[in-house]
């Protein structure tokens, strides 16, 4: 079975530099998110200046149509967007790893049932589902997280399951079982450390996808006006493409840089990991 989407397979190991670039990008983004209140020149929802003013010393990324400071918006947007991406990553890996380990280890009926579920959720058209959920329930960060997490875990579950299938035949696993190690011990101390690198790589890629999906939702007008996110900002920039280039440019750059950073790091990681099962294109 083929992996979903942007599970971009292994990177060139000139990756060391690439990985470093990725780390720098993500580092900057994380600092921006953590220190947003100190870095921002204004509250992102307040009227901070004239409407549609271009970048200037007062507003280094300019202001939007109603006079809010874009730099502050992008900074706070970093917080919300990263929060969305991280939460989805965490939820998806929690589901994916648990289900994958159970299916792989126990096999039989549990495996069949869980893999059927996995198939169902894997083919759910993610973007459609997210759009439908938001259009029907109203915009909100929470439902974006739920829908994206719900449609993202299957990839992880499949990879983890494959790893476990290979792993459980190995001598040291059989030995520790024979020595009476508890299942919990086995899962936590043996299986988890083994699958973790592959999972981390996939989660990095997944977070990139989440950011792009969130931006696309903002573009089709399904962003949450109460939450400053990059997607909301990119969506608001729509009507101003010709008169206020800065509104589209800066949020777009923030998204691109973060997705690029996440992918570079994931690549670097995957070339370090000895042939992790999930990182080849096929199972």
Partner 1 sequence: MPTVLGIVLIAFLLIHLAPGDPVMALAGEHGDAAYYEFMRERFGLNRSLPDQMLTYFARVASGDLGMSYVHGRSTASLIMERAPATLLLTGSALLLAVIVSIPLGAFAARRPHGSWDVSISGAVLTLYSAPAFWLGQLAILAIALKLGWLPVQGMTTAGDTQSGIMRALDVARHLILPAMVLASQELAVLVRLTRSGLIDELARDHIRTARAKGVTDAAILIRHAMPRALLPAVTVIGARVGQLIAGAVVIEIVFGWPGIGRLLLTSLQNRDTPLLLALFLVVSFTVVVANLLTDLVHAALDPRITLR
Partner 2 sequence: MRRRWCLLFSGAAWLASPGCAREAKPARPFVAAVTTDPGHLNTAITTNGSVHTAGGLLYDGLVELNDELEPVPALAERWEVDSAGTRYRFHLRRDVRWHDGQPLHAADVKFTFEQLLLRFHSRTRASLAPVLDRIETPDDFTVEFIFRRPYAALLQQLNVEEAPIMPQHLFQTGDPLRNPANTAPVGTGPYRFVSYSAGSEIRFIANKEYFRGQPAIREVVLRIVPNPTVQVLALEAGEVDWLFGVPGPDRARLRQDKRFTVVQTPGYSGGSNCISTVGFNLDKPLFRDIRVRRAIAHSVDRDQVLARVLFGEGRVADAPISSGIAFAHAAGLAMPAFDTARAASLLDNAGWRRMGKAFRTARGVDGVPDGTALTIRFTAMPGQAAYGDLLRAQLRAVGIDLRVTALEPAVFSQSVFTARDFDTAIISYCNGTDPEIGVRRQYVSASIGPVPFSNTAGYRNQEMDALFDSAASALDAGVRTSLYRRIQEIAVRDQPYIWLVETLNTRAFSARCTGFGISPHFAATAHCGN
**Of 257, 263, 266, nearest in space to 32 by CA:** 257
**Of 56, 27, 87, 94, nearest in space to 227 by CA:** 87
Q: Which is nearer to partner 2, 40 or 200 (CB)?
A: 40
Instruction: Restricting to residues 172-211, name those near partner 1 by CB under 8 A.
Output: 208
Task: Pick one of partner 1, partner 2, none as the site partner of residue 281 (Cβ within 5 to 8 A by kind).
Answer: partner 1
Is 128 near partner 2 (CB under 8 A)?
A: no
**What is the size of the binding site for partner 2 (CB under 8 A)?**
25
CA distances in angstroms from 156 to 7, 129, 160, listed in the order given: 11, 20, 6
Q: Which is nearer to partner 1, 36 or 265 (CB)?
A: 265
Task: Pick one of partner 1, partner 2, none as the site partner of residue 125 (Cβ within 5 to 8 A by kind).
Answer: partner 1
Choose the binding region for partner 2 from 89-97, 143-151, 156-164, 236-244 (rule: CB under 8 A). Answer: 236-244
Query: DSSP labels for 54-91?
Result: PS-SSSTT-B-TTS-BHHHHHHHHHHHHHHHHHHHHHH
38-71 burial code (b ≥16 CB/10 A, e <16): eebebebeeebbeebbebeeebebbbbeeebbbb
CA distance 19 to 25: 10
| Residues forming the site for partner 2 (CB under 8 A) | 45-47, 51-52, 65-68, 135-139, 221, 224-226, 238-244
| Residues forming the site for partner 1 (CB under 8 A) | 1-6, 8-14, 18, 116, 119-120, 123-129, 131-133, 135-137, 208, 212-213, 215-216, 219-220, 234, 241-242, 248, 252, 255-257, 259-260, 263-264, 280-282
């Amino acid at each position: 079975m083929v992996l979903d989407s942007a599970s971009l397979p292994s990177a060139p190991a000139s990756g060391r530099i690439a990985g470093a670039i990725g780390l720098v990008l993500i580092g900057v983004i994380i600092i921006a998110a953590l220190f947003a209140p100190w870095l921002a020149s204004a509250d992102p929802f307040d009227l901070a200046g004239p409407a549609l003013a271009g970048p200037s010393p007062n507003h280094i990324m300019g202001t939007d149509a109603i006079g809010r400071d874009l730099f502050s918006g992008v900074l706070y947007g970093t917080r919300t967007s990263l929060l969305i991406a991280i939460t989805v990553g965490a939820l998806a890996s929690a589901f994916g790893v648990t289900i994958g380990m159970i299916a792989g280890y126990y096999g039989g009926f549990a495996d069949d049932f869980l893999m059927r579920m996995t198939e169902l959720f894997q083919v759910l058209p993610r973007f459609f589902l997210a759009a439908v959920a938001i259009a029907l329930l109203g915009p909100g960060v929470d439902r974006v997280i739920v829908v994206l997490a719900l449609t993202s875990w299957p990839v992880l579950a499949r990879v983890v399951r494959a790893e476990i299938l290979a792993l459980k035949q190995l001598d040291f696993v059989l030995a520790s079982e024979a020595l009476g190690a508890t299942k919990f011990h086995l899962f936590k101390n043996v299986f988890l450390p083994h699958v973790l690198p592959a999972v981390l790589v996939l989660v990095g890629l997944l977070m990139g996808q989440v950011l792009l999906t969130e931006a696309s939702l903002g573009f089709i007008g399904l962003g949450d006006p109460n939450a400053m996110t990059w997607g909301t900002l990119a969506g608001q920039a729509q009507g101003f493409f010709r008169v206020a280039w800065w509104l589209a440019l800066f949020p777009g750059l923030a998204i691109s840089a973060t997705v690029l950073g996440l992918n570079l790091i994931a690549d670097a990681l995957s070339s370090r990991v000895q042939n992790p099962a999930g990182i080849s294109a096929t199972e």
